[in-house]
Structure 1
Amino acid sequence: MAVVKGSQQDQLIIRQYRPWERFRRFLYTVLFIAAVGMGGYFGGVYDSMNRIQQLTTARDTLQSALQDAERTITNLTQRVGVLEKGGQVDRKATEGIRQTVKELKAQISTLEEEVAFYKGIMAPSANDKGLRISKVEIQPQDSAGKFRYSIMMTQVADNSSYITGLAAVNFVGMKGTEKVILPLRDFDSNVTDLGVKFRFRYFQEVAGDITLPAGFVPQQVQVVLQSTGGKAQRVEQTIDWPQ
C-alpha cells in the first residue's frame, strides 16, 4: 500500500473473534465471588459455633459455682443454728479463756515486779544504796483476825559482804480508847524477841502468820531495820493497815 509522505497514518489491529470469551470471564468472576461468599459464610458459622461452645462451657462453670455457693449457704445456715443453740457453751468457754488470761496477766505482773526487784538490787540508782526495806505486806487470811505478813529487806549495790542486824516490827492501833504500840511477838507465837535477826548478802524475807489480840484495832505497821558493824544503818518504814 502506498504511503503519502506527510499524511497521518492510523494503526490497524487485527484480533481473533472469540464470542465465548466474555461469557467465560463473567462466569469465572461469578464463581470467584460465590467461593469467597461461601468461605466467609462457613468461616462465620465455624466462629459462631466455637463462640457458642465457649459460652456453653462458661455457663456450665457458673452453674456449678452457683450450686457450690448454694450448698455453702445451706451449711452456714445450719452452723449458725448450731452456734445459736450452743451459745451458752460458747459463753462458758469464753469466760474460761478470760479467766485464764486474767491469771496469766497476774503472773506476768508478778514476774515484772520480781524483775524490777532484782534489777533494783543489782543496778540501783545513785542515791539508792545500802540497807533498804523493799516491801511490807499484810494480807488477810480465811479466819477472822488472822493475817499473813511479809517484809523484804535488801542490800543494794554494796553487797560484797553480808549484812547483819535486827528487824523490829511494831503494830500501832487502838485498844479501847487508848493508842498502843505492840511488838511482833505479841502477834506471832514464833517470835520471842523484840525483833527478828537478819543476815544476808542480797536480800532476805521475814514472813509469818499473826493473830490480832482481842480488842485491838490495828492502824499502822512500823518496821525498823538496824544493822551492826562498821557501816551500821538504821532504816524505818511505816505503812497503813490495809482496809
Structure 2
Amino acid sequence: MTDQLLRRVPLRRGHRLAVVPVESRFARLARRVLAIFVLLAFPAAAWLGWDAALRSQLVENHSQLRDSHQTLQAELDQTQQRYQQLEVDLLVAREAVRDGRKIITDLEQQLFKLQQDLATYQGALAPNAMVPGLRFQAFELQSTERPDVFRYKVMVSRVGSESETTQATLFIEVHGSRDGEEVVIPLSSMTAVGDDEGLALDFRYFQVLPASGREAELSLPEGFQPKRVHLRAEHDGKTLVEQMFDWTVTGAKS
C-alpha cells in the first residue's frame, strides 16, 4: 500500500521524498518494557549481591558463635568439675576440723585430769594445793634478733570442777631498775597492742596467752634493766591469784 501511495503522489522537480517508518504500538510497548527491565536489573543485581554477602556473613557468624558456644560449654564443664571437687575438699576439711577439735578437746580434758591428779598428790605436801582456783603454770621468755625485744608466753590453768569455766583479767608488770632507781612498768606500755585493761582470761581447762605472735612481743624501754615479772589475775576488782617470776630468758626463738 505504501508503494501505491508513493506512485500516486506527484513529485516536483527539486523536491526530495523522505520516508519515515511508522512504529507500531507493540514495538513501542516492547521497547518500554525492555527499558523498565534494564532499569530494574541494576537494583536487583545490587540487592542479590548484598543478600549473598549478608548470607555469607551470617554463615560465618553462626560458625563463630557455634565455636564460641563449644568453648564456653567446655569451660563450664571444667568449672563444674572444679566446683564439685571443691565441695568434696570442703567436706573433707570440715570433717578434719571436727576431728581436730575433738582431739584438742580430748587432750585438754586429759591434761585437766592430770593436773587435778597432780594437785591431789601435791596436796599431801602443800595444804592449799587442792584449793579450787587459778594457777600460773608457766611464764616463758624468749629472745629475738633484737636484744631489747622478747617474746613471752603465759600458761594459766585452774583446779576445780570440770564443768566450770573461768573468766578473769590478767595484768602483767615488769619490775626492774633504771638510772639506779627501782621502777615498775606495766606490760601494756611495752607491747604494740598497748591494752591497759589487761589480757582476757576465758577458759575451762587452761589458756595460753597471748593468742598471736605479734601480741607476744615486748620491747624494753631504753636503759631499763628487768629483774622480775609480776602476774595478777582479777575478777570484778578482786585479785584471784598473783605470782612473781624471775626475768629469765629460757631460749631463743627464730
The TM-score, its normalising length taken from structure 2, stands at 0.45
The higher-RCO structure (CA 8 Å, 6+ apart) is: 2
The TM-score, its normalising length taken from structure 1, stands at 0.47
